[in-house]
Amino acid sequence: MESPRIAMVAGEASGDMLAGMLLAALKTRWPSLSAAGIGGPSMVAQGFEAWWPHDKLAVRGYAEVLRHYPEIAGIRRGLGNRLLNNKPDLFIGVDAPDFNLDLEMRLRSAGVRTVHFISPSIWAWRPGRVHTVGRAADLVLCLFPFEPALYEAHGIAASYVGHPLADAIALEVPRAAARRALGLEDDAQVVALLPGSRHSEVDYIAPRLLAAAARMHRERPALRFVLPLVPGLRPKVEALLAGATGGAPIKLVDGHAHDVLAACDVAIVASGTATLEAALYKRPMVITYVMNPITWLMMRPRNLQPWVGLPNILLGKMAVPELLQSQATPERLADEALAWLDDAPRAAALHAQFTQMHLSLRRNTAQAATDAIEKVLAR
């Protein structure tokens, strides 16, 4: 197939980033490839035609989804109709399982080949979803080495392709260069604040991170704080900063999350892909998450793991602290972050563990995923 037509859907910033990496590799294999659907700036930079922006799907939690459900369901229905009227050679759903799996089932039942890129976390919660994945996808591309066996046990085709971030991020990143890019002093102690990429995450998590920074600033005025922003969230964060009392001087930067992680000494980070990024930069961290209380009550009993953060799940232990929901007080967030700054041997041991994890996730993901996708297209 010389110029396949591919439809894709990626939700939120992390999905857009991963899909952009995949598209770059696909276009190396098939220079005339065309791709369209739902995506963001990383995908558009690879020639993707975004019929809807990816942030339309950046909603997490039962209560939040219910508020946006009519719009999201309408987008999924409209996209499905459009794709069935002019069938692509392949559909690739990138993460966003609540949106993509139903769409994939509809397309696959009509004869469209489907690939789901990024296995849903059936090993963490909702294990019954594996059967939905089996009906939805011709192939699942897995980011973590233990995942394919879980699918193969159910007769579902799956391929381990590694994590593209492990390929993209160097094993050792010069901190000084990142600090120069951000205008930070070489000898400063820097705290990164990453409240998440969704509006709901900023609503629930950012105020606690800002209050934690204020507490740390009172104890150690020389600390520097940097908060990277995804597009569209600056006004919301600026309003929170303006309303804060006794706040720390926090440097807001648009994008550049990787520079911020490379530059920092410790990060306070919302659970999600950003925790894996922090681990790949070998940075000590405090993982946190706060959500709508109703959503929390519904989700918590379904969790199959004793951890929620990817670094802890991959290492199989509580390597970094997790402060969730009512535990995520500014005082505890600040105390745990300062503890990392005061314990160099502990931080060094974590660096070694993260280095081994980084090596295990390196697989030349873009190449491996493209090879697997080529086999699906050849069927």
Domain ranges across the chain = 5-162+363-378, 175-361
What does the pLDDT read at residue 59?
53
Instruction: Give residue 47's pLDDT.
Output: 96
Give the burial class of 365: count Cβ atoms within 10 A of its Cβ; 0-12 exposed, 13-18 middle, 19 or more buried. Answer: buried
**pLDDT for residue 375 is more than 60:** yes
Domain at 175-361, CATH from 3.40.190.10, 3.60.10.10, 3.40.50.2000, 3.40.50.1000? 3.40.50.2000
Q: Which residue has the higher pLDDT, 237 or 133?
A: 133
Type of residue found at 108: R
66-86 pLDDT tens trace:
566 688 889 999 999 999 999
Instruction: Express as a percent the part of the chain with pLDDT over 70.
Output: 93
pLDDT at 272: 87
Mean pLDDT, rounded, for 94-116: 96
Global confidence as pTM: 0.77
Q: Flag whether pLDDT at 281 surpasses 90.
A: yes
- Homologous superfamily of the 5-162+363-378 domain (CATH): Glycogen Phosphorylase B; (3.40.50.2000)
Angle formed by the axes of helices 97-109 and 129-136, to 10°? 40
Residue partners of 210: CB distance under 8 A and separation at least 6: 193, 240, 241, 244, 247, 248, 250
Domains 5-162+363-378 and 175-361 share a fold: yes
Confidence of residue 62 (pLDDT cuts 50, 70, 90): very low
pLDDT in tens, 282-336: 999 999 999 877 776 666 655 556 888 999 999 999 999 999 989 999 999 999 9
Neighbour count for residue 242 (Cβ, 10 Å):
8
